RNA sequence: GGGGUGGUAGUUCAGUUGGCUAGAACGCUGCCCUGUCACGGCAGAGGCCGCGGGUUCGAGUCCCGUCCACCCCGCCA
């Protein structure tokens, strides 16, 4: 039976006691971690989020009897005296290991069912089980640490932005659909049947309006919602460190954001080099086949197009003649790959969307190439141009330049993993710059914003805005860490005229534009300062700095890839009465 | 929507060419133990082999379907 806490107050946390406390009385409150019962002598560790302390029960029959009832995860109060452990019983693994508490009283405050998995043992548990019993999983050291780190990072960021003169300002959760390009979560408006609020995909328009309102420097730890497929680095709801500055230039944004990230890294005791490397978008695509290049290892993609342009080498010449190219990268020490291993590479490339993958390497006498049509001579030229040596394997893909690179980019990541080329403990930060402003949408026969429609074009490209929109580059930038996009932002359009032009290019009629964000267009006409900003993915920062490969490990209550909360079983059906009230009908 | 991996005691897993009365470790229960700290020793309980169908004398194992978790593509900054 459980006993009451009464007016009992904790004197120390379970991680606090040290030799200096020897001789003092202590009241510890926490969970029973592990019991070691020796008959008439019994030890157990009491645990809270601060640590473990060993409790000794000895020489008191009633006390011993209570202690023998204790099981893992019971909640207990220990009242006793701090003792120094004899030299031969010190536990060097524990910060509290030089002392123990000799209990004079033990209260079982609450019993616990045997948990489905052990909190004390560091065992692998399937994510399904962990998510169902998230409250138990959160008790375990890994998540205790990750959630603690998340707190520290959040505090470090708040402190940093405060020091830089930013105001933290909240923006609405119930709002209007913003043009971020993802599916919106909608909330029916009860008092306006047939109308809906949208949850914010980001506070984009609000933060720009705050600039118009004169708030100069804004930051928000903002929850954002996007109804899209979930991934290791994507949840339906996620947290952005959203910021915006008036009179911002790209260098100013870089400086502020680099400072913020440096403050985060300081929390894990890592110093980072500043300024970060900068790379044009086009280079990232061609050399790494990705808009979030992982720069921790080489395997850089090279272009062999010119090599095959005037040469009689079948499929490659054809590709080049049709506006495509031939690209590839060298896998060091892979000449020894077996038939099965190279076939595996080809399969991976096909899974990535390649028509095929050609590989070539030096053999004892000559060169081997997986496609006869290339010819030995062509292969040799490519190997030479690539700077491959006898131990290397060169893989080649042909097609439209970006397509070839993206396939190779995916292959590059898989090869790096397979060959263990990703160094541990390395942090490669990089700015991606010079994004195109628009993408041609062939299906809809119009231009799409690469970022969002408020992104400013580079001033030197303004003259092409209407004549050659595909050539216009944006004042936009992404920050990348170890192949993860940490954040992105831009300088915004601050004049009504340019904004209207962009809307027109996006195929938005004046009427559509007015309907969707007329209020915003109007606000631009009341003295809008030039401004810009960025948003950082807090979940991703936490995950990377915690050494995790999924943001679920830094989110207390995440959802599965099927968008289900396994703990509380959301989503779920609702009472028909609620639907009626909202004028909603299932179809 | 598509591709891949997995689903067997509470948990993590093993289970060969179809022969299973389904194993191991940890956990759990009981007993013993005065210096343990992953305590130790002895004994024991615990299974709809994800679910549904099929093939077969016989299915954890083979086939079809389906559900769930994870990874990737599409989608999403």
Looking across all nucleic acid strands, the nucleotide with the smallest C1' to CA distance from residue A552 is: B70
Report which residue is nearest nucleotide B10 when distances run from CA to C1'.
A116
With a cut of 90, say whether residue A366 has pLDDT above it: no
With a cut of 90, say whether residue A467 has pLDDT above it: no
Give per-residue pLDDT as tens, A157-183: 999 999 999 999 999 999 998 766 899
Q: Where are the beta strands (DSSP E) in A371-475?
A: 393-399, 429-433, 438-441, 446-449
Task: Decide: residue A172, CB within 10 A, 0-12 exposed, 13-18 middle, 19+ buried.
Answer: exposed
- Note the CA–C1' distance, A57 to B44, in angstroms: 28
Give per-residue pLDDT as tens, A400-437: 888 888 889 999 998 888 888 889 889 999 999 999 99
Task: Decide: residue A193, CB within 10 A, 0-12 exposed, 13-18 middle, 19+ buried.
Answer: exposed
DSSP at A528: P
Do the Cβ atoms of A390 and A352 come closer than 8 Å? Answer: no
- Note the CA–C1' distance, A66 to B1, in angstroms: 59
What's the CA gap between A302 and A17, in Å, rounded? Answer: 60
Report which residue is nearest nucleotide B35 when distances run from CA to C1'.
A89
- Note the CA–C1' distance, A131 to B49, in angstroms: 23
Q: What is the pLDDT of residue A470?
A: 87
**Cα first-last separation, chain A:** 52
Q: What is the pLDDT of residue A278?
A: 96
What's the CA gap between A438 and A250, in Å, rounded? Answer: 19
Looking across all nucleic acid strands, the nucleotide with the smallest C1' to CA distance from residue A227 is: B76
Task: Decide: residue A169, CB within 10 A, 0-12 exposed, 13-18 middle, 19+ buried.
Answer: middle
Q: What is the pLDDT of residue A310?
A: 65
Give per-residue pLDDT as tens, A475-520: 999 999 999 999 999 999 998 888 888 888 888 888 888 888 888 9
- Note the CA–C1' distance, A1 to B60, in angstroms: 43
The segment with the largest mean pLDDT, out of A378-382, A389-393, A402-406, A540-544, is A540-544
Please tell me whether the overall predicted TM-score, pTM, comes out greater than 0.90 for this model: yes
Looking across all nucleic acid strands, the nucleotide with the smallest C1' to CA distance from residue A228 is: B76
What's the CA gap between A488 and A20, in Å, rounded? Answer: 50
- Note the CA–C1' distance, A343 to B70, in angstroms: 25
Report which residue is nearest nucleotide B28 when distances run from CA to C1'.
A114
- Note the CA–C1' distance, A406 to B72, in angstroms: 14
Report which residue is nearest nucleotide B3 when distances run from CA to C1'.
A351
Looking across all nucleic acid strands, the nucleotide with the smallest C1' to CA distance from residue A449 is: B77
- Note the CA–C1' distance, A266 to B66, in angstroms: 50
Q: Which nucleotides of B are covered by protein (CB under 7 A)?
A: 1, 3, 10-13, 26-29, 32-40, 68-77
Confidence of residue A317 (pLDDT cuts 50, 70, 90): low
Phi-psi region of A422 (alpha: psi -120 to 50; beta: other; left: phi over 0): beta
Looking across all nucleic acid strands, the nucleotide with the smallest C1' to CA distance from residue A292 is: B77
What's the CA gap between A272 and A215, in Å, rounded? Answer: 30
Give per-residue pLDDT as tens, A251-308: 999 999 999 999 999 999 999 999 999 999 999 999 999 999 999 998 999 988 777 7
Phi-psi region of A527 (alpha: psi -120 to 50; beta: other; left: phi over 0): left
Which residues have CB under 8 Å from A565's CB, separation 6+? A131, A557, A559
- Note the CA–C1' distance, A351 to B2, in angstroms: 11
Looking across all nucleic acid strands, the nucleotide with the smallest C1' to CA distance from residue A116 is: B10
Which of A485, A479, A477, A486 has its CA nearest to residue A451?
A477
Q: What is the pLDDT of residue A312?
A: 59
Confidence of residue A339 (pLDDT cuts 50, 70, 90): confident
- Write down the ipTM of this complex: 0.93
Report which residue is nearest nucleotide B41 when distances run from CA to C1'.
A38
- Note the CA–C1' distance, A560 to B23, in angstroms: 32
- Note the CA–C1' distance, A41 to B26, in angstroms: 24
With a cut of 80, say whether residue A463 has pLDDT above it: yes
Which residues have CB under 8 Å from A136's CB, separation 6+? A115, A116, A117, A119
Which residues have CB under 8 Å from A465's CB, separation 6+? A457, A472, A498, A501, A502, A505
């Amino acid at each position: 039976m459980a006993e009451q806490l009464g007016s009992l107050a904790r004197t120390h946390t379970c991680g606090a006691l040290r030799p200096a406390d020897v001789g003092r009385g202590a009241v510890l409150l926490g969970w029973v971690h592990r019991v070691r019962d020796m008959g008439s002598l019994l030890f157990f560790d009491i645990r809270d989020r601060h640590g473990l302390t060993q409790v000794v029960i000895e020489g008191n029959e009633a006390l011993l009897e209570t202690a023998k009832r204790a099981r893992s995860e019971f909640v207990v109060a220990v009242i006793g005296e701090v003792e120094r452990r004899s030299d031969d019983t010190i536990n060097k693994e524990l910060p509290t290991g030089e002392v123990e508490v000799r209990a004079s009283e033990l209260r079982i405050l609450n019993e616990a069912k045997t948990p489905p998995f052990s909190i004390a043992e560091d065992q692998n548990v399937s994510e399904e089980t962990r998510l169902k019993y998230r409250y138990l999983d959160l008790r375990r050291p890994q998540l205790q640490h990750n959630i603690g780190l998340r707190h520290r990072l959040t505090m470090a960021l708040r402190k940093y932005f405060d020091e830089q003169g930013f105001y933290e300002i909240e923006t609405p959760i119930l709002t209007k659909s913003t043009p971020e390009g993802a599916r919106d979560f909608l909330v029916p408006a009860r008092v306006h049947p047939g109308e809906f609020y949208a949850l914010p995909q980001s506070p984009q328009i609000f933060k720009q309006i705050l600039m118009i309102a004169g708030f100069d420097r804004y930051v928000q730890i903002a929850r954002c919602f996007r109804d899209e497929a979930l991934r290791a680095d994507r949840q339906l709801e996620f947290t952005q460190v959203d910021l915006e500055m008036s009179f911002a230039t790209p260098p100013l944004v870089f400086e502020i954001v680099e400072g913020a990230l440096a403050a985060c890294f300081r929390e894990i005791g890592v110093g980072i080099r500043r300024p970060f490397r900068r790379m044009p978008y086009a280079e990232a695509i061609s050399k790494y086949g990705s808009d979030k290049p992982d720069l921790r290892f080489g395997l850089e993609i090279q272009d062999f197009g010119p090599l095959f342009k005037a040469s009689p080498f079948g499929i490659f010449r054809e590709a080049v003649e049709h506006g495509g190219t031939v690209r590839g990268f060298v896998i060091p020490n892979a000449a020894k790959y077996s038939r099965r291993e190279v076939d595996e590479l080809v399969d991976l490339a096909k899974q990535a969307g390649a028509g095929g993958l050609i590989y070539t390497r030096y053999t004892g006498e000559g060169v081997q190439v997986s496609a006869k049509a290339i010819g030995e001579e062509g292969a040799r030229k490519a190997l030479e141009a690539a700077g491959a040596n006898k131990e290397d394997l060169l893989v080649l893909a042909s097609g439209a330049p970006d397509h070839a690179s993206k396939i190779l980019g995916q292959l590059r990541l898989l090869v790096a993993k397979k060959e263990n080329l990703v160094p541990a403990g390395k942090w490669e930060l990089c700015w991606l710059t010079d994004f195109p402003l628009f993408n041609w949408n062939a299906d809809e026969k119009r231009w799409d914003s690469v970022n969002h429609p408020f992104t400013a074009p580079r001033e030197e490209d303004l003259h092409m805005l209407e004549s050659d929109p595909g050539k216009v580059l944006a004042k936009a930038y992404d920050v990348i860490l170890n192949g993860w996009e940490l954040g992105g932002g831009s300088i915004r359009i601050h004049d009504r005229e340019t904004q209207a032009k962009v809307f027109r290019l996006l195929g938005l009629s004046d009427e559509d534009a007015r309907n969707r964000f007329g209020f915003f267009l109007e606000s631009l006409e009341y003295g809008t300062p030039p401004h810009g900003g960025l948003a950082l993915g807090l979940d991703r920062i936490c995950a990377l700095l915690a050494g995790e490969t999924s943001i679920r490990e830094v989110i207390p209550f995440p959802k599965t890839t099927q968008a289900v909360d396994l703990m509380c079983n959301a989503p779920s059906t609702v009472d028909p009465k609620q639907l009626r009230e909202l004028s909603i009908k299932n179809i």
